[in-house]
Amino acid sequence: MSDRVNDYKAYYTQSQILANSGNYQEALATLDRALSIKSDNHQAWIYRGGLFTHLDRYEEALASFEQALTLQPHDQTAALFRGVALHHLGRYKQAYASYNQALGTKRPSRWQKLLQIFKKWVYADFVGA
């Protein structure tokens, strides 16, 4: 295995350790080092968006989820969390479109139920706001 691949894995793992201990800013900086080595891993971009979400930096989270979807257009997780970022930004119509993309038409029934519950919760939050 090349040194660059090993460096990528080491930074990615260190980022997860930092995030698990609540050090989201440090985790983000470490993950960015990993992405500077290998930027084509859509899961890393989803993870990056999650870190930004924990930091309440929703525009940057959205950009990360969009990058993940550029790399893997049908990724349900990226579409779901893009919807969450859009919701936090007050872009509700786009959020629902993203949730619907995550739901798709050929998903297991448990996934559909989970997304329907989540959409109802988000809608209730919006209406109650």
Give me the DSSP letters along 33-56: HHHHH----HHHHHHHHHHHHHTT
Q: How far apart are CA 78 and CA 60, in angstroms?
A: 14
Q: Which domain holds residue 96?
A: 40-128
What CATH number is given to the structural domain containing 44? Answer: 1.25.40.10
In the chain, the number of structural domains is 1
In a domain, 92, yes or no: yes
In a domain, 4, yes or no: no
pLDDT of residue 1: 57
Structure tokens at 66: 């969009």
Percent of residues, the chain, with pLDDT higher than 70: 88
Task: Give pLDDT tens digits for 58-93.
Answer: 999 999 999 999 999 999 999 999 999 999 999 999
C-beta of residue 62 within 8 angstroms of C-beta of residue 85: yes
In a domain, 74, yes or no: yes
